[in-house]
Structure 1
Amino acid sequence: MSTITAAASGKPVCTLASLDHLVLTVRSLPDTIKFYTEVLGMAHQSFTSPSDPGTTRHALLFGSQKINLHQAGKEFEPKARTALPGTADLCFLANDDVGEVLKKLIEKGIEVLEGGQVVKRTGARSPLRSVYVRDPDGNLIEISNPTVQ
């Protein structure tokens, strides 16, 4: 049973439509890019920021979302107050069946958490079937499929 509450002070300042991007602070750009492209099928993008045209930046693209990557110790401003590698817990919805994903992770020698099996979890919109791994920085990565209720 869950409870959803509205803003306590009346009308909010704004209402949000969706998440455009998030930022991961990483120890190694090459290791992170390799994991997210080769394991999770994301696309790597190099780009320059309009506010700093002399600097090459890196992002990972999937679906209609983007993950910007910041090298630890060389973060772009503004940044999170405590921008540290390995502090994220992310859940991704997969196009592939997580049972098949589990098999492929094991074949690649990637450690699968939670006993190396598919587990049941709760998502934002529905129950999930999930497998858990860690990226090169130790971020918790949940790969999921929604289940029909």
Structure 2
Amino acid sequence: MLTTLDHLVLTVADIDATTRFYSGALGMEAISFTASGGGTRHALRYGSQKINLHPAGTAYEPRARVPTPGSADLCFLTDMPLEAWQSRLAGHGIEIIEGPVPRSGATGPLMSIYIRDPDGNLVEISLPD
């Protein structure tokens, strides 16, 4: 049986802009690592997971059939009150496009706010009820 998510990949138009957004506004740790085949790659670490960043147009294999910037819909859980997130995001000039609104998560009810990253991916920040 599967137990947890280790990492996911985001195809991005601009590694630096994406890194600034996720590390600055969302507090993730920007890291670089050497891929098993060699070469430096970039990622964002949070909790015990990470997001690998692939620049659009790269030939990393294997990969999604149609890797496209802006096609993701991500939900991150938080233990910080959404009011604090609203203030933090406003301080970074990031518009909340919806919320707080009630939603259903994998393990129960959530209160969520929605924003977009530099590629237009939908990012949901959710506080479990």
Identity %: 53
* 5+ long unaligned stretches in structure 1: 1-14
The answer on 1:33 being equivalent to 2:19 is: yes
* 5+ long unaligned stretches in structure 2: none
Name the residue aligned to 1:7. Answer: none
Q: Does the residue aligned with 2:64 lie in a helix, a strand or coil?
A: coil
Cα deviation 1:25-53 (Å, max 9, x = unaligned): 00000000000000110001101112x22
Alignment of 1:39-78 (within 5 A): 39-50=25-36, 52-53=37-38, 55-78=39-62
The answer on 1:113 being equivalent to 2:68 is: no
Query: How many residues are treated as equivalent by the alignment?
Result: 129
Which is strand-richer, 1 or 2?
A: 2
Q: Which has the larger radius of gyration?
A: 1
1:139 to 93, 102, 121: 121
**Larger relative contact order, structure 1 or 2 (CA cutoff 8 Å, min sep 6):** 2
2:84 to 84, 95, 100: 100
Name the residue aligned to 1:127. Answer: 109
Shift of 1:75: 4.1
Q: Which residue identity is paired with 2:11?
A: T
Over the aligned positions, Cα root-mean-square deviation in angstroms equals 1.0
The answer on 1:24 being equivalent to 2:6 is: no
In the alignment, is the contact (CA less than 8 A) between 1:102 and 1:118 conserved in 2?
no
In the alignment, is the contact (CA less than 8 A) between 1:21 and 1:66 conserved in 2?
yes
Tell me the TM-score normalized by structure 1. 0.83
